[in-house]
Structure 1
Amino acid sequence: MGFNSLRFLYLLCFLLLSNVVFAQNNAATYQLNIKKLNEIVRLDGILDEPFWEDIETASDFWMNFPVGGTLVDNEFQTSVKIAYDDDFIYLGVECYGEGPFLVQSLKRDNDSFWNGDAFAVILDPVNERTNGFIFGVNSAGVQTEALITGEPARRGGQISGYNKAWDNKWYTEASVTENGWTAEMMIPFKSLRFGEKDRWGINFVRIDAANNANHSWAPVPIQFYGTDLGYLGQLIWDKPPKNEKRNISFVPYLLGDAYKDYDSKGDFSQSFALGMDAKIAINSNLNLDLTVNPDFSQVDVDEQQTNLTTVNLRFPERRLFFLENSDIFSNFGTNAKPFFSRKIGLDDDGNTIPILYGARLSGNLNKNLRVGLMNTQTQEQELPGNNYSSLALHQRVFKRSVLKGYFHNRVGYADGSVQRDNFNRIGGLEFNYSSQDSKWRAIAGYGLAFSNENQNDNHLFNFFGGYGGRVFNVFLNISGLGDNYINDFSLIPRQKHYDAVEDTTYILGFNHWWATIGYKFYPENTFINQHGFSLTTNGDRTATSNELIQDKHQFSYKFLMKNTSTLELTYSHEGINLLYPFSFTDEEPLLAQLYRFDYGQIKYVTDKRREIKLTTGYTYGSFYNGTRTEFSLAVDYRVQPWGNFSLNFVQNNLVFSGNHGAEKLLLLGPKAEINFSKNFFWTTFMQYNTQSDNFNINSRLQWRYKPMSDLFIVYSDNYLVEYFEPRNRALVLKLNYWFNL
């Protein structure tokens, strides 16, 4: 081995060891003792009870963004005290600073919650850095909560492993003071899953909106959000908490609706439904979810998007039954994921397939093993019903790495009996490596799919690896599946190809690659917080003939400003080999051949703390054998704290050569959200989409009359765009109630 090779090896070892030590030091250095209370806590957001003075304080918060590794100035510091009794964990929080403080919305779990002033606690009761909980509050006392998995929370994109759709009961109040704002939080033990351990992982994070700054108690490097589980401190209990009381929750619902389908020229129809969800704690770590005749999608509507690809869009899961510990089932794979819960009970167009019942067991069997077991049965209608069964296991190895396995089984059910020749079975293994500091990652997996028709060329494989540091990152992903990998539990991009001439969809196996390299700069004393570039390439080729399906090479440069505005410039070179004719217009379909085109894009987002925020974009370039011009504008107007009004506009002008025509695709979406209080909301939005030939009006009134208990009144109206004729109209009333035994 030469001298240069030795130097490189020593440097690599130094980087690895120093990163591991950084993550370990937080657990050793940032420790907080929790004290048991014998007094009644009056939840009002004001820390004037005498017992708060005798409780140990967590203070001296660190900067996480826009700089890292320095203490927060005293005038913007945060102090936290934590205590407990037999039923609750209590937090007393003081956030110092000068008001007014930014409140984006009074609505719980609002998408813009983290764009305003906020505080949150991250809890990892198992203390293995693989999954946890986050509970957040803003200066108006509005709540948010989420489940967190051990995936690195890398800054610069969507937060990985952050499931904000999860809801549970907890309580908080906040108050604005002369020195900042304060909050009191009460988290029931019943809302957590934990074992009898005397140490939990913990961290506190704060958003200081005025200074565009993120703080954390235990320091987290700038390239990660404060929610990353790799940098938790320790919460030390005087006695391990016990959860010996019954923990059973029932959520019954009553629904009535009136509906008219104008396409079928029928009369108004009325229906009533009654169903129930239940959550039963088998023990403090293991939870059983049950559902009978569930209502899965009556009061929530997916936001429409313009689709300029040959790939189906994926919409997020919002249904209660699938949410808790959802990562046990879904966190497999990279580009091709073997499980997507929206394939159960919903068809590819988002229409509801009635589910008769569901049962789901999930949680920790011990500190290292997580398990998920699920069974659901859909109703037989014009097509046979289906029984879906799933088993998933996560075995922790090393410090933060996981060895996983899964098995999914679908079998048809008709006329009271099982259709033994109508089945689909999926199985596989995966190893997910993550360094203690989250900077190094690797994933390797292999799976098989079986059905009554195909038993060969039915494989799925994936590999992902890379490094993400403060200034430099590089990642690589290679995956593929055979022609007969048929998975009824998943939505896999690039697998299905539509032939516009034959009006037929074909399924093809493919091999996929994706790689990216990026570099960031952190200038001092300028109006820019950070800027940097990334080079990304990806593509797909057919599995059998190695024929190109698509590839894309992209250069992007992004600026993050001190005033929270962003500017991004992108240049892309894309190649798409249409394996079958495809059309974006009503004219002749594009020929099945290779198309290569180039386009540039500019996107600018103004200061998101202002009452009016603009998001603008412009794209121009070649597109197949023609050109594409896209204009986009989103206007958000906030009336703090009670109102949010927005308008989203996207127009794509497509012009093709020859007899392939031209098309103007318009997506227009005004939205109004009025919050009468923290528990009473009215949201109305319209979606005008020429691509799907639909104009939709959806108006929803929600009253949260008890914690996690709601009354919904929803009006929905759909029209054909071209002739503005009504398609269907509905009025829905839904009442649910969450109560604990």
Structure 2
Amino acid sequence: MNILLAFTFALLFQVAPQTVDKKSPINIQRLSSPVTIDGIPDEPAWQEIKPFPMQVYQPVYGGEMSNRTVIKVTYDDKYLYIAGELYDSEPENIVANTLYRNRYSGDETFAIILDSFNDNETAKWFFVTPTGVRVDQQISNDSEGGNSFNRDWNTHWDAAAEITEDGWFAEIRIPFSSLGFREVNNEVIMGLITYRWDARRAERHIFPDIAPEWSRGFTKPSQAQKVRFTGIEYEKPVYITPYLLGGFEQSNLLNTSGDAYQTGTDYVTEAGLDIKYPITGNMNLDLTLNTDFAQVEADEAQINLNRTPLFFPEKRQFFQERSDIFDFNLGGNNALFYSRRIGLEQGQQVRILGGLRLAGRTGKWDVGVLNMQTDRLNSIDQPAENFGVYRMKQNIINQNSHAGGMVTNRLGFDGSYNIGTGFDLLYNYTRNHFLDFKTATTFDNRTGSNLFDQSIFRVNLLKRSSTGFYYDFSFIRSGDQYLPEIGFNSRFDYTQLNLELAYGYFNDPESSIRIVNPSLEGSAFLRNEDQSIESINIEQSWEIELKNDTEFELAGGLWYEDLRLPLIFSDNATVETGSYTFYGAEASYQMSNSRQVRTSISGQARTFYDGYQYSFTFSPAWNASKHFEISADAELNYLSFPDRDQTEYLHLFRVRSIAALNTHLSLQVLSQYNHLARQVGTNARFRYNFSEGHDFWVVYSEVSNRELNRITPTLPRFENRTVLIKYTYTFY
């Protein structure tokens, strides 16, 4: 009743929304008296804060709101506070699927995006769901490209939410020390975007007014409202996080005579330390000693039907903070720096003895320094190594342009070395049109001294948009001695041409279709040695998004591949050297994530080299309650080469179960079955989060075999098994 009276009073005496120009900074009101972060913004101090004028972003830009949204922002010396009054005429139907930390399952969300460095390119994204689940991630490259979101980043902040008979309400409190910022003349200017996502109606209310000209326009730092804070007393909290680890690892290996498997057990007792120290408001120093990532989620298995290597994203927390500074993308997943080269070698973990990372901004420069020392790995005769990454870049010409450089090193204690150098320029020459130029050169003890052959060049011309006509053209030339040993390179000694032409248009407000994006894309890879064609791909696709957040895609493609080495998928499926032309079509359908029971489906049929490929993917998910979610992926691939009487089934099955008693106590189990290898991989992670930075983990991992008698000697039931217990506590 008190809550109802408070909101009735607020409705009667509500302060009028602000009217703003997002290019001119607006002053954020200071908090006049304390508030409690309990999810209900009913304190008198909140009633004094002017709400932002909200705009409907989707499904119909500028349309009418189904329910009222009130969002307010305030601050004091230490914290930024955000309150949301998210009214709903049917509160019993509010989508609140999960209690699992950092998990988004299509829930309603209340969010704030902060370009705290005011660089119009990077931001930190915080949102909370009706169950009080907090999710945080980083944005880079102005939300452009597939690698612009880092969902594995975490920081310190608080939030609470409450569902009432009027809708749901939320409060967020973020320490300024978790944001980082630049202070000039006692003023701090940041970019701010805040929104409410009504999942049931696929409706987004946003501030400031951002037109949906880009696929993720509501997350673009360059479109944020400039806001001003004064008199922030920046603190320098030192976060000291020691850990204790114990457990055992078991492996089954062939005995010396090779006629049976023998089980070996290694007991593990470890301790380590992480220290985080903010040198200034926008520069952090992180130190790590005897680093361990036992609690990191296992990789999802992949099937490779291409001639290029698989790419796996980085999930280890130490490498997440300001990872955008260390980004030096060279097209696709290719990069001068790929952090998974550190501490992982040929699928095995390498002990990281320690290291440091310095990242942030000084003056007009973004600066990143990373140095890590690994131990020797005797099982594959890998020497101890030192890894270094040194990055600088600065805004030039205008707010969306920058130039910079990078140096990397990988130095082995056996005398081996690999050094990379790079220069990049991003130039926003008019409105949404960009020139992106990058070049990198590597120096390796195994190669000669021909700088041209040791280098890669990339020129990219593009229009950043998803409405109207837009394009993306790139040219890449990579030499045969370009060897980024601390980076990722999917091909060697090639020239690539790529062109995408697309057009996006919104349908009438009365239509059930929100936006349609037809596109035509083509790419060609040439061998540098003789300029012969290695690969060509041409694809025409139609992407259709409905106003209920359902998506469809239809595509047809033509491929040409010239193989100089056989392509081996399994013992029963190979492709011999030669030239092949093949074609096919695919379709996909994805339901709205807001549904309690939902799925995505895709299928592909095509000729495939001198045979055929049929693929089908089915990914259902069910949120039985906010305490339990189960999802699955079935990836079915059938290869047939009838002229050579070869067939193969390359299937993957994945089941993920998530249980959460509350936002502190949770269990996640990921099980994966590889049909070709006849193996099941299981990774279970139990977590009790006492408070932010204070965690207890129990981790169980196992790779087990199926059909044990298929080879001689008989396979063991399990290949390896690990049980670990980890405890961390952060002092600050």
TM surpasses 0.5: yes
Does structure 1 retain, via aligned residues, the 8 Å contact 2:96–2:107? yes
What is the deviation of 1:72? 4.4
Match of 1:521 in 2: 505
AA partner of residue 388 (structure 1): F
Summarize the Cα distance change of 1:660–1:433 in structure 2 as closer, same or farther, 3 Å threshold.
farther
1:352 is the counterpart of 2:349: yes
SS at match of 1:246: coil
Does structure 1 retain, via aligned residues, the 8 Å contact 2:104–2:135? no
Summarize the Cα distance change of 1:118–1:109 in structure 2 as closer, same or farther, 3 Å threshold.
same
Deviations 1:201-252 (A, max 9, x none): 2121221112212221112221332110111112222x24231x33211121
CA distance in 1 between partners of 2:677 and 2:562 (Å) = 25
What is the deviation of 1:328? 1.1
Match of 1:163 in 2: 150
From 443, 446, 458, the counterpart of 1:450? 443
RMSD: 2.0
CA distance in 1 between partners of 2:385 and 2:660 (Å) = 41
Gaps of at least 5 residues in structure 1 are 1-24, 496-508
AA partner of residue 97 (structure 1): D
Match of 2:196 in 1: 206
What is the deviation of 1:463? 0.9
CA distance in 2 between partners of 1:170 and 1:124 (Å) = 16
From 524, 529, 543, the counterpart of 1:558? 543
CA distance in 2 between partners of 1:434 and 1:300 (Å) = 38
1:608 is the counterpart of 2:593: yes
CA distance in 2 between partners of 1:229 and 1:691 (Å) = 45
Match of 2:4 in 1: none
Instruction: Please show how residues 300-449 of structure 1 align to structure 2 within 5 Å.
Output: 300-335=297-332, 336-349=334-347, 351-366=348-363, 368-382=364-378, 383-397=382-396, 398-414=398-414, 419=415, 422-434=416-428, 439-449=432-442
CA distance in 1 between partners of 2:499 and 2:97 (Å) = 36
Does structure 2 retain, via aligned residues, the 8 Å contact 1:263–1:728? no
CA distance in 1 between partners of 2:374 and 2:645 (Å) = 42
What is the deviation of 1:523? 2.0
What is the deviation of 1:192? 1.6
AA partner of residue 208 (structure 1): D
Which stretch of the first structure deviates more once superposed, 321-330 or 560-569?
Answer: 560-569
1:460 is the counterpart of 2:452: no
Instruction: Please show how residues 498-513 of structure 1 align to structure 2 within 5 Å.
Output: 509-513=493-497
Does structure 2 retain, via aligned residues, the 8 Å contact 1:568–1:602? yes
From 461, 478, 483, the counterpart of 1:481? 478
Instruction: Please show how residues 243-258 of structure 1 align to structure 2 within 5 Å.
Output: 243=234, 245-258=235-248
Does structure 2 retain, via aligned residues, the 8 Å contact 1:688–1:721? no
- TM-score, normalisation: structure 2: 0.90
What is the deviation of 1:653? 0.8
SS at match of 1:76: coil
Match of 2:167 in 1: 180
Does structure 2 retain, via aligned residues, the 8 Å contact 1:585–1:661? no
Which stretch of the first structure deviates more once superposed, 510-519 or 428-437?
Answer: 428-437
AA partner of residue 410 (structure 1): R
SS at match of 2:222: helix
CA distance in 1 between partners of 2:63 and 2:407 (Å) = 48
CA distance in 2 between partners of 1:26 and 1:429 (Å) = 36
Does structure 2 retain, via aligned residues, the 8 Å contact 1:565–1:606? yes
Summarize the Cα distance change of 1:730–1:390 in structure 2 as closer, same or farther, 3 Å threshold.
same
- TM-score, normalisation: structure 1: 0.88
AA partner of residue 459 (structure 2): F
AA partner of residue 429 (structure 1): F
1:595 is the counterpart of 2:593: no
Deviations 1:46-73 (A, max 9, x none): 1221111112221x211222333x1542
1:656 is the counterpart of 2:638: no
What is the deviation of 1:297? 4.6
AA partner of residue 174 (structure 1): A
AA partner of residue 410 (structure 2): R
AA partner of residue 174 (structure 2): I
What is the deviation of 1:588? 7.4
CA distance in 1 between partners of 2:343 and 2:605 (Å) = 40
SS at match of 1:57: coil
CA distance in 2 between partners of 1:436 and 1:644 (Å) = 47
1:492 is the counterpart of 2:489: yes
Match of 1:117 in 2: 108
Does structure 1 retain, via aligned residues, the 8 Å contact 2:294–2:699? no
1:689 is the counterpart of 2:686: no
Does structure 2 retain, via aligned residues, the 8 Å contact 1:585–1:662? no
CA distance in 1 between partners of 2:394 and 2:64 (Å) = 38
Match of 2:54 in 1: 61
How many residues get paired? 682
Does structure 2 retain, via aligned residues, the 8 Å contact 1:709–1:738? yes
Summarize the Cα distance change of 1:72–1:363 in structure 2 as closer, same or farther, 3 Å threshold.
farther
Instruction: Please show how residues 81-100 of structure 1 align to structure 2 within 5 Å.
Output: 81-98=72-89, 99=91, 100=93
Does structure 1 retain, via aligned residues, the 8 Å contact 2:32–2:45? no
Deviations 1:637-690 (A, max 9, x none): 112312111121111111114447211111111221111111111111210012
CA distance in 2 between partners of 1:77 and 1:588 (Å) = 59
What is the deviation of 1:280? 0.9
Summarize the Cα distance change of 1:81–1:250 in structure 2 as closer, same or farther, 3 Å threshold.
same
SS at match of 1:279: strand
AA partner of residue 433 (structure 2): W
Match of 2:23 in 1: 28
Summarize the Cα distance change of 1:660–1:345 in structure 2 as closer, same or farther, 3 Å threshold.
farther
Deviations 1:362-393 (A, max 9, x none): 10011x21001111111023221111111110
Summarize the Cα distance change of 1:66–1:435 in structure 2 as closer, same or farther, 3 Å threshold.
farther
Match of 1:726 in 2: 718
Does structure 2 retain, via aligned residues, the 8 Å contact 1:325–1:362? yes
Summarize the Cα distance change of 1:38–1:614 in structure 2 as closer, same or farther, 3 Å threshold.
closer
Match of 1:504 in 2: none
AA partner of residue 38 (structure 2): D
Summarize the Cα distance change of 1:81–1:562 in structure 2 as closer, same or farther, 3 Å threshold.
closer
Does structure 1 retain, via aligned residues, the 8 Å contact 2:582–2:606? yes
AA partner of residue 423 (structure 1): Y
Match of 1:715 in 2: 700
CA distance in 2 between partners of 1:547 and 1:263 (Å) = 45
Deviations 1:126-172 (A, max 9, x none): 323132222111122211112222x2335xx84x5221211111111
Does structure 2 retain, via aligned residues, the 8 Å contact 1:700–1:712? yes
From 210, 214, 220, the counterpart of 1:220? 210
